[in-house]
Structure 1
Amino acid sequence: MERCEGTLHEKQVIVLGGSSGIGLETARLADAQGAKLVLVARDVHKLEAASHALGGSARTAIFDVADEGAVRTFFEHIGRIDHVLLAAGNPFYAPLVQMNFSEARRYIDNRILSILYIARYAGPHMVPAGSLIFLSGTLIQRPALGLSVTSIAGHATGTLTKNLALELAPTRVNTIACGFVDTPLSAALLGEGLQARREELERTLPIHRVVQPEDVAKLAVHLMLNTAITGSTYAIDGGQSLL
Protein backbone atom coordinates (compact mmCIF):
# COMPACT_ATOMS: atom_id res chain seq x y z
CA MET A 1 0.00 0.00 0.00
CA GLU A 2 1.38 3.42 -0.95
CA ARG A 3 1.79 6.01 1.73
CA CYS A 4 -1.19 8.38 1.72
CA GLU A 5 -1.01 11.91 3.13
CA GLY A 6 -4.06 13.04 5.04
CA THR A 7 -4.90 9.54 6.22
CA LEU A 8 -3.92 7.30 9.11
CA HIS A 9 -1.73 5.13 6.92
CA GLU A 10 1.18 3.73 8.97
CA LYS A 11 0.13 5.82 12.00
CA GLN A 12 0.12 4.06 15.35
CA VAL A 13 -3.39 4.41 16.77
CA ILE A 14 -4.09 3.16 20.29
CA VAL A 15 -7.69 2.56 21.26
CA LEU A 16 -8.27 2.13 24.98
CA GLY A 17 -11.63 0.43 25.29
CA GLY A 18 -11.28 -0.97 21.81
CA SER A 19 -13.10 -4.28 22.19
CA SER A 20 -16.60 -3.05 21.29
CA GLY A 21 -18.82 -0.10 20.49
CA ILE A 22 -17.29 3.25 19.62
CA GLY A 23 -13.75 2.07 20.29
CA LEU A 24 -14.02 -0.91 17.98
CA GLU A 25 -15.73 1.10 15.26
CA THR A 26 -12.99 3.74 15.41
CA ALA A 27 -10.41 0.98 15.14
CA ARG A 28 -12.26 -0.37 12.12
CA LEU A 29 -12.16 2.99 10.33
CA ALA A 30 -8.50 3.52 11.24
CA ASP A 31 -7.66 0.02 10.01
CA ALA A 32 -9.32 0.79 6.67
CA GLN A 33 -6.88 3.70 6.29
CA GLY A 34 -3.87 1.50 7.01
CA ALA A 35 -3.23 2.44 10.63
CA LYS A 36 -1.10 0.35 12.95
CA LEU A 37 -3.64 -0.53 15.63
CA VAL A 38 -3.26 -1.37 19.28
CA LEU A 39 -6.46 -2.37 21.07
CA VAL A 40 -6.67 -2.25 24.86
CA ALA A 41 -9.44 -3.70 27.03
CA ARG A 42 -10.00 -5.61 30.26
CA ASP A 43 -11.93 -8.58 28.87
CA VAL A 44 -9.63 -11.01 27.05
CA HIS A 45 -12.45 -12.76 25.20
CA LYS A 46 -13.97 -9.54 23.86
CA LEU A 47 -10.52 -8.31 22.93
CA GLU A 48 -9.73 -11.48 20.99
CA ALA A 49 -13.07 -11.22 19.18
CA ALA A 50 -12.37 -7.59 18.29
CA SER A 51 -8.92 -8.43 16.94
CA HIS A 52 -10.41 -11.26 14.90
CA ALA A 53 -13.07 -8.91 13.50
CA LEU A 54 -10.27 -6.68 12.25
CA GLY A 55 -8.53 -9.56 10.53
CA GLY A 56 -6.03 -10.21 13.30
CA SER A 57 -3.78 -7.32 12.30
CA ALA A 58 -4.17 -5.34 15.53
CA ARG A 59 -1.87 -5.73 18.50
CA THR A 60 -3.65 -6.14 21.82
CA ALA A 61 -3.04 -5.46 25.50
CA ILE A 62 -5.14 -6.33 28.53
CA PHE A 63 -5.26 -3.91 31.47
CA ASP A 64 -7.47 -1.42 33.30
CA VAL A 65 -6.88 2.25 32.43
CA ALA A 66 -7.53 3.09 36.10
CA ASP A 67 -4.36 1.15 37.04
CA GLU A 68 -1.53 3.69 36.99
CA GLY A 69 1.23 1.10 36.97
CA ALA A 70 -0.30 -0.77 34.06
CA VAL A 71 -0.79 2.43 32.06
CA ARG A 72 2.80 3.54 32.71
CA THR A 73 4.28 0.16 31.74
CA PHE A 74 2.19 -0.04 28.58
CA PHE A 75 3.25 3.35 27.25
CA GLU A 76 6.89 2.85 28.22
CA HIS A 77 7.09 -0.10 25.82
CA ILE A 78 4.76 0.94 22.99
CA GLY A 79 7.15 3.10 20.98
CA ARG A 80 6.15 6.15 18.94
CA ILE A 81 2.49 7.10 19.25
CA ASP A 82 0.42 9.06 16.74
CA HIS A 83 -3.05 8.96 18.26
CA VAL A 84 -4.75 7.71 21.41
CA LEU A 85 -8.50 7.32 21.90
CA LEU A 86 -9.87 6.66 25.38
CA ALA A 87 -13.25 5.03 24.84
CA ALA A 88 -13.41 3.00 28.06
CA GLY A 89 -15.86 3.67 30.85
CA ASN A 90 -19.49 3.35 31.90
CA PRO A 91 -21.94 5.93 33.25
CA PHE A 92 -22.57 6.00 37.00
CA TYR A 93 -26.29 6.00 37.75
CA ALA A 94 -27.51 6.70 41.29
CA PRO A 95 -30.13 9.12 42.62
CA LEU A 96 -28.76 11.17 45.50
CA VAL A 97 -30.83 9.43 48.19
CA GLN A 98 -29.53 6.02 47.04
CA MET A 99 -25.95 7.01 46.31
CA ASN A 100 -23.07 5.04 47.75
CA PHE A 101 -20.51 7.78 48.28
CA SER A 102 -17.56 5.42 48.34
CA GLU A 103 -18.55 4.11 44.91
CA ALA A 104 -19.15 7.65 43.68
CA ARG A 105 -15.70 8.74 44.85
CA ARG A 106 -14.11 5.72 43.20
CA TYR A 107 -15.89 6.45 39.92
CA ILE A 108 -14.85 10.10 39.86
CA ASP A 109 -11.28 9.26 40.84
CA ASN A 110 -10.98 6.57 38.19
CA ARG A 111 -12.46 8.70 35.41
CA ILE A 112 -10.27 11.72 36.11
CA LEU A 113 -7.08 9.91 37.04
CA SER A 114 -7.23 7.61 34.01
CA ILE A 115 -7.12 10.70 31.79
CA LEU A 116 -4.18 12.09 33.74
CA TYR A 117 -2.35 8.75 33.63
CA ILE A 118 -2.75 8.54 29.86
CA ALA A 119 -1.72 12.15 29.32
CA ARG A 120 1.35 11.83 31.54
CA TYR A 121 2.64 8.49 30.31
CA ALA A 122 1.65 8.71 26.65
CA GLY A 123 2.72 12.35 26.32
CA PRO A 124 6.49 11.78 26.06
CA HIS A 125 5.98 9.26 23.24
CA MET A 126 3.58 11.32 21.11
CA VAL A 127 4.65 12.63 17.71
CA PRO A 128 4.31 16.44 17.37
CA ALA A 129 1.18 16.24 15.22
CA GLY A 130 -0.38 13.50 17.34
CA SER A 131 -3.55 13.65 19.37
CA LEU A 132 -5.28 12.41 22.49
CA ILE A 133 -9.05 12.02 22.30
CA PHE A 134 -11.30 11.35 25.27
CA LEU A 135 -14.95 10.32 25.25
CA SER A 136 -17.40 12.05 27.55
CA GLY A 137 -21.14 12.72 27.54
CA THR A 138 -23.55 15.53 26.75
CA LEU A 139 -24.62 15.66 30.40
CA ILE A 140 -22.23 18.61 30.53
CA GLN A 141 -24.88 20.44 28.50
CA ARG A 142 -28.09 18.67 29.48
CA PRO A 143 -28.47 17.39 33.08
CA ALA A 144 -30.43 14.25 33.89
CA LEU A 145 -31.83 12.72 37.07
CA GLY A 146 -29.57 10.17 38.71
CA LEU A 147 -26.52 11.08 36.67
CA SER A 148 -24.95 13.78 38.85
CA VAL A 149 -21.70 11.88 39.34
CA THR A 150 -21.36 11.12 35.64
CA SER A 151 -21.96 14.81 34.94
CA ILE A 152 -19.16 15.78 37.34
CA ALA A 153 -16.75 13.49 35.52
CA GLY A 154 -17.86 14.93 32.17
CA HIS A 155 -17.27 18.51 33.25
CA ALA A 156 -13.85 17.53 34.60
CA THR A 157 -12.97 15.91 31.28
CA GLY A 158 -13.81 19.09 29.37
CA THR A 159 -11.70 21.21 31.70
CA LEU A 160 -8.79 18.77 31.58
CA THR A 161 -8.97 18.82 27.79
CA LYS A 162 -8.27 22.55 27.69
CA ASN A 163 -5.46 22.41 30.23
CA LEU A 164 -3.79 19.37 28.74
CA ALA A 165 -3.93 20.91 25.27
CA LEU A 166 -1.66 23.65 26.63
CA GLU A 167 0.60 21.41 28.71
CA LEU A 168 1.13 18.79 26.01
CA ALA A 169 1.35 21.11 23.00
CA PRO A 170 2.04 20.57 20.15
CA THR A 171 0.25 17.27 20.84
CA ARG A 172 -3.45 17.98 20.43
CA VAL A 173 -6.08 17.08 23.02
CA ASN A 174 -9.82 16.95 22.33
CA THR A 175 -12.98 15.43 23.77
CA ILE A 176 -16.06 13.97 22.11
CA ALA A 177 -19.22 14.37 24.22
CA CYS A 178 -21.73 11.71 23.21
CA GLY A 179 -25.44 11.52 23.78
CA PHE A 180 -27.18 8.18 23.43
CA VAL A 181 -25.23 5.93 21.07
CA ASP A 182 -26.58 2.53 20.01
CA THR A 183 -23.75 0.41 21.40
CA PRO A 184 -23.55 -2.98 23.13
CA LEU A 185 -23.12 -1.04 26.40
CA SER A 186 -26.40 0.80 25.80
CA ALA A 187 -28.07 -2.53 25.12
CA ALA A 188 -26.69 -3.99 28.35
CA LEU A 189 -27.79 -0.99 30.41
CA LEU A 190 -31.30 -0.71 28.97
CA GLY A 191 -32.09 -4.39 28.50
CA GLU A 192 -35.66 -4.87 27.32
CA GLY A 193 -36.13 -1.10 27.20
CA LEU A 194 -33.62 -0.66 24.37
CA GLN A 195 -36.08 -0.81 21.48
CA ALA A 196 -38.46 1.63 23.15
CA ARG A 197 -35.57 4.04 23.65
CA ARG A 198 -34.58 3.74 20.00
CA GLU A 199 -38.12 4.44 18.86
CA GLU A 200 -38.42 7.43 21.19
CA LEU A 201 -35.21 8.96 19.83
CA GLU A 202 -36.24 8.33 16.23
CA ARG A 203 -39.42 10.32 16.93
CA THR A 204 -37.88 13.16 18.91
CA LEU A 205 -34.33 13.78 17.67
CA PRO A 206 -33.96 16.47 14.99
CA ILE A 207 -32.08 13.96 12.81
CA HIS A 208 -34.90 11.37 13.20
CA ARG A 209 -32.51 8.49 13.72
CA VAL A 210 -30.36 7.04 16.47
CA VAL A 211 -26.67 7.92 16.64
CA GLN A 212 -24.52 4.90 15.79
CA PRO A 213 -20.95 4.03 16.83
CA GLU A 214 -19.78 4.75 13.29
CA ASP A 215 -21.02 8.35 13.60
CA VAL A 216 -18.78 8.93 16.61
CA ALA A 217 -15.90 7.01 15.04
CA LYS A 218 -15.96 9.27 11.99
CA LEU A 219 -15.63 12.31 14.25
CA ALA A 220 -12.77 10.68 16.16
CA VAL A 221 -10.86 9.99 12.95
CA HIS A 222 -11.49 13.55 11.77
CA LEU A 223 -10.03 14.90 15.02
CA MET A 224 -6.99 12.70 14.55
CA LEU A 225 -6.38 14.06 11.06
CA ASN A 226 -7.28 17.74 11.47
CA THR A 227 -4.16 19.29 12.98
CA ALA A 228 -5.85 22.66 13.57
CA ILE A 229 -8.14 21.37 16.33
CA THR A 230 -7.10 21.20 19.97
CA GLY A 231 -8.52 21.97 23.40
CA SER A 232 -12.09 21.48 22.22
CA THR A 233 -15.12 19.41 23.15
CA TYR A 234 -17.45 18.30 20.36
CA ALA A 235 -21.00 17.17 21.07
CA ILE A 236 -22.46 14.39 18.96
CA ASP A 237 -25.99 13.56 20.06
CA GLY A 238 -28.25 13.97 17.04
CA GLY A 239 -29.46 17.29 18.45
CA GLN A 240 -30.66 15.79 21.74
CA SER A 241 -29.12 18.61 23.79
CA LEU A 242 -31.29 21.10 21.87
CA LEU A 243 -34.54 19.61 23.15
Structure 2
Amino acid sequence: MKILVVGGAGTVGRAIVENLSAAGHTVLSVGRSSGEHRVDITSDASVRALFEQVGRVDAIVSATGHLFFGPLSQMSAEQFDIGLQDKLLGQVRLALIGQHYLNEGGSITLTSGIVGEEPIAQGVNATTVNAALEGFVRAAATELPGRRINVVSPTVLTESWDVFASYFPGFESVPAARVALAYRRSVEGVQTGRVYRVG
Protein backbone atom coordinates (compact mmCIF):
# COMPACT_ATOMS: atom_id res chain seq x y z
CA MET A 1 0.00 0.00 0.00
CA LYS A 2 0.99 3.63 -0.53
CA ILE A 3 0.40 5.30 2.84
CA LEU A 4 0.61 8.97 3.78
CA VAL A 5 1.54 9.59 7.44
CA VAL A 6 0.99 13.20 8.49
CA GLY A 7 2.96 13.93 11.66
CA GLY A 8 5.49 11.26 10.76
CA ALA A 9 8.31 12.96 12.66
CA GLY A 10 6.47 12.96 16.01
CA THR A 11 6.84 10.29 18.66
CA VAL A 12 3.76 8.34 17.56
CA GLY A 13 4.31 9.22 13.92
CA ARG A 14 7.81 7.74 13.87
CA ALA A 15 6.51 4.53 15.44
CA ILE A 16 3.72 4.34 12.83
CA VAL A 17 6.15 4.91 9.95
CA GLU A 18 8.49 2.24 11.32
CA ASN A 19 5.70 -0.29 11.85
CA LEU A 20 4.06 0.18 8.44
CA SER A 21 7.39 0.27 6.60
CA ALA A 22 8.45 -2.98 8.28
CA ALA A 23 5.19 -4.50 7.02
CA GLY A 24 6.26 -3.75 3.45
CA HIS A 25 4.17 -0.65 2.75
CA THR A 26 5.41 2.42 0.89
CA VAL A 27 5.18 5.12 3.56
CA LEU A 28 5.43 8.85 2.86
CA SER A 29 6.27 10.86 5.98
CA VAL A 30 4.74 14.36 6.09
CA GLY A 31 5.29 17.17 8.58
CA ARG A 32 4.93 20.89 9.10
CA SER A 33 8.70 21.43 9.07
CA SER A 34 10.21 18.01 8.35
CA GLY A 35 9.61 14.84 6.38
CA GLU A 36 9.54 13.92 2.70
CA HIS A 37 6.66 16.35 2.16
CA ARG A 38 5.48 19.44 4.08
CA VAL A 39 1.96 20.52 4.99
CA ASP A 40 0.15 23.03 7.19
CA ILE A 41 -3.05 21.25 8.16
CA THR A 42 -4.69 24.57 9.08
CA SER A 43 -4.61 25.61 5.40
CA ASP A 44 -6.88 24.25 2.67
CA ALA A 45 -4.36 25.36 0.02
CA SER A 46 -1.48 23.57 1.76
CA VAL A 47 -3.42 20.32 2.16
CA ARG A 48 -4.57 20.42 -1.48
CA ALA A 49 -1.00 21.06 -2.61
CA LEU A 50 0.19 18.06 -0.59
CA PHE A 51 -2.26 15.71 -2.28
CA GLU A 52 -1.50 17.15 -5.71
CA GLN A 53 2.16 16.33 -5.05
CA VAL A 54 1.72 12.78 -3.76
CA GLY A 55 -1.24 11.76 -5.93
CA ARG A 56 -3.57 8.92 -5.07
CA VAL A 57 -2.93 6.88 -1.94
CA ASP A 58 -4.27 3.73 -0.30
CA ALA A 59 -4.31 5.13 3.22
CA ILE A 60 -4.08 8.47 5.01
CA VAL A 61 -2.88 8.47 8.61
CA SER A 62 -2.90 11.60 10.76
CA ALA A 63 -0.85 11.67 13.96
CA THR A 64 -0.73 15.41 14.39
CA GLY A 65 -2.54 18.38 15.88
CA HIS A 66 -1.99 21.06 18.52
CA LEU A 67 -4.22 21.75 21.54
CA PHE A 68 -4.43 24.39 24.25
CA PHE A 69 -3.97 23.41 27.88
CA GLY A 70 -4.88 25.85 30.64
CA PRO A 71 -7.44 26.57 33.37
CA LEU A 72 -10.98 27.21 32.17
CA SER A 73 -11.28 30.26 34.47
CA GLN A 74 -8.60 32.08 32.49
CA MET A 75 -9.22 30.65 29.02
CA SER A 76 -10.10 32.95 26.14
CA ALA A 77 -12.02 32.05 23.02
CA GLU A 78 -8.84 32.72 21.05
CA GLN A 79 -6.93 30.15 23.11
CA PHE A 80 -9.77 27.63 22.84
CA ASP A 81 -9.72 28.14 19.09
CA ILE A 82 -6.16 26.75 18.89
CA GLY A 83 -7.35 23.16 19.27
CA LEU A 84 -10.42 23.74 17.10
CA GLN A 85 -8.42 25.10 14.17
CA ASP A 86 -5.43 22.78 14.45
CA LYS A 87 -6.13 19.31 15.83
CA LEU A 88 -9.86 19.24 15.08
CA LEU A 89 -10.39 21.11 11.82
CA GLY A 90 -6.85 20.28 10.66
CA GLN A 91 -7.53 16.54 10.78
CA VAL A 92 -11.06 16.97 9.44
CA ARG A 93 -9.54 18.98 6.57
CA LEU A 94 -7.17 16.10 5.79
CA ALA A 95 -10.16 13.75 5.60
CA LEU A 96 -12.40 16.10 3.60
CA ILE A 97 -9.77 16.83 0.96
CA GLY A 98 -7.97 13.50 1.19
CA GLN A 99 -11.08 11.41 0.48
CA HIS A 100 -10.87 12.55 -3.16
CA TYR A 101 -7.33 11.14 -3.48
CA LEU A 102 -8.08 7.85 -1.72
CA ASN A 103 -8.13 4.68 -3.78
CA GLU A 104 -11.13 2.33 -3.65
CA GLY A 105 -10.90 0.24 -0.49
CA GLY A 106 -8.61 2.80 1.12
CA SER A 107 -8.75 4.16 4.65
CA ILE A 108 -8.31 7.30 6.72
CA THR A 109 -7.08 7.10 10.31
CA LEU A 110 -7.19 10.15 12.60
CA THR A 111 -5.95 10.67 16.16
CA SER A 112 -7.94 11.70 19.24
CA GLY A 113 -6.81 10.87 22.79
CA ILE A 114 -7.87 9.46 26.14
CA VAL A 115 -8.99 12.85 27.49
CA GLY A 116 -11.89 12.69 25.04
CA GLU A 117 -13.52 10.35 27.55
CA GLU A 118 -11.39 10.93 30.66
CA PRO A 119 -11.13 14.69 31.28
CA ILE A 120 -8.08 16.02 33.09
CA ALA A 121 -7.34 19.33 34.83
CA GLN A 122 -6.70 22.17 32.36
CA GLY A 123 -7.74 19.89 29.48
CA VAL A 124 -11.15 21.31 28.48
CA ASN A 125 -9.92 22.17 24.98
CA ALA A 126 -8.37 18.72 24.54
CA THR A 127 -11.48 16.90 25.76
CA THR A 128 -13.73 18.90 23.44
CA VAL A 129 -11.53 18.40 20.39
CA ASN A 130 -10.92 14.67 20.94
CA ALA A 131 -14.60 13.95 21.54
CA ALA A 132 -15.53 15.92 18.41
CA LEU A 133 -13.02 13.98 16.30
CA GLU A 134 -14.54 10.70 17.42
CA GLY A 135 -18.02 11.97 16.55
CA PHE A 136 -16.80 13.09 13.13
CA VAL A 137 -15.33 9.66 12.39
CA ARG A 138 -18.47 7.77 13.43
CA ALA A 139 -20.64 9.98 11.22
CA ALA A 140 -18.22 10.17 8.27
CA ALA A 141 -18.02 6.37 8.14
CA THR A 142 -21.67 6.28 7.05
CA GLU A 143 -20.89 8.43 4.00
CA LEU A 144 -17.70 6.88 2.63
CA PRO A 145 -18.88 3.94 0.48
CA GLY A 146 -15.98 1.74 -0.56
CA ARG A 147 -13.61 3.47 1.85
CA ARG A 148 -13.06 3.39 5.60
CA ILE A 149 -12.35 5.90 8.38
CA ASN A 150 -11.31 5.26 11.99
CA VAL A 151 -9.66 7.11 14.87
CA VAL A 152 -7.02 5.99 17.35
CA SER A 153 -7.35 7.24 20.94
CA PRO A 154 -4.13 6.63 22.90
CA THR A 155 -3.43 7.36 26.52
CA VAL A 156 -0.35 9.36 27.53
CA LEU A 157 2.86 8.03 25.94
CA THR A 158 5.62 6.43 27.97
CA GLU A 159 8.11 8.50 25.97
CA SER A 160 6.36 11.70 27.13
CA TRP A 161 5.61 10.64 30.70
CA ASP A 162 8.28 12.82 32.31
CA VAL A 163 6.71 15.91 30.73
CA PHE A 164 3.00 15.13 31.18
CA ALA A 165 2.83 12.91 34.29
CA SER A 166 1.49 15.72 36.47
CA TYR A 167 -1.53 16.10 34.14
CA PHE A 168 -2.37 12.38 34.36
CA PRO A 169 -2.36 11.28 38.02
CA GLY A 170 -3.14 7.59 38.36
CA PHE A 171 -2.94 6.91 34.61
CA GLU A 172 -0.74 4.25 33.04
CA SER A 173 1.39 5.24 30.08
CA VAL A 174 1.79 3.25 26.88
CA PRO A 175 4.82 3.03 24.56
CA ALA A 176 4.50 4.55 21.09
CA ALA A 177 5.32 1.20 19.49
CA ARG A 178 2.17 -0.31 21.01
CA VAL A 179 0.07 2.67 19.92
CA ALA A 180 1.35 2.17 16.36
CA LEU A 181 -0.26 -1.27 16.27
CA ALA A 182 -3.71 0.32 16.43
CA TYR A 183 -2.94 2.43 13.35
CA ARG A 184 -1.81 -0.67 11.49
CA ARG A 185 -5.03 -2.43 12.49
CA SER A 186 -7.00 0.51 11.12
CA VAL A 187 -5.01 0.60 7.86
CA GLU A 188 -4.92 -3.14 7.15
CA GLY A 189 -8.20 -4.18 8.76
CA VAL A 190 -11.82 -4.09 7.64
CA GLN A 191 -13.54 -2.02 10.31
CA THR A 192 -14.88 1.50 9.82
CA GLY A 193 -16.29 4.13 12.16
CA ARG A 194 -14.26 2.65 15.01
CA VAL A 195 -12.49 4.34 17.90
CA TYR A 196 -9.40 2.24 18.69
CA ARG A 197 -8.56 2.97 22.31
CA VAL A 198 -5.00 2.22 23.43
CA GLY A 199 -4.29 2.48 27.13
Structure 1 segments of 4+ aligned residues over 3 angstroms from their partners: 187-190
Give the distance between the partners of 1:225 and 1:91, measured in 2 at CA: 29
1:33 counterpart (23, 27, 43): 23
Matches within 5 A, 1:24-173: 24-44=14-34, 47=35, 60-173=36-149
**What amino acid is the match of 1:226?**
G
Displacement after TM superposition at 1:217 (Å): 0.5
The residue type paired with residue 137 of structure 1 is G
Q: Which residue of 2 aligns with 1:241?
A: none
Deviations 1:62-116 (A, max 9, x none): 2221121100111123222111111012342111122132121232122222123
Q: Percent identity?
A: 22
Counterpart in the other structure of 1:234: 196
Of 181, 205, 214, which aligns to 2:157? Answer: 181
Q: CA offset at residue 197 of structure 1? A: 8.8
Query: How many residues in Structure 1 have an aligned counterpart in Structure 2?
Result: 199
Q: Given the two structures, how large is their TM-score scaled by the length of structure 2?
A: 0.91
Aligned equivalents of 1:92, 1:179: Cα separation in 2:
17
- Matched-pair contact (CA < 8 Å) for 2:6–2:62: yes
Which of the pair has more CA radius of gyration? 1
In 2, distance between residues paired with 1:134 and 1:123? 13
For 1:153 and 1:173, the matched residues in 2 are separated by 17
**Aligned pairs (5 A) from 1:196-207:** 205=172
Which consecutive unaligned segments of at least 5 residues does structure 1 have?
A: 1-10, 48-59, 238-243
Inter-partner Cα distance in structure 1 for 2:94 and 2:109: 10
3-state secondary structure, aligned to 1:77: helix
Q: Distance in 2 between matches of 1:23 and 1:155?
A: 21
Following the alignment from structure 2 to structure 1, what is the Cα–Cα distance between the partners of residues 15 and 71? 32
Query: What's the RMSD between the two structures over aligned residues?
Result: 2.1
- Match for residue 215 of structure 1? 178
Structure 2: gaps of 5 or more residues: none
TM-score when normalising by structure 1: 0.75
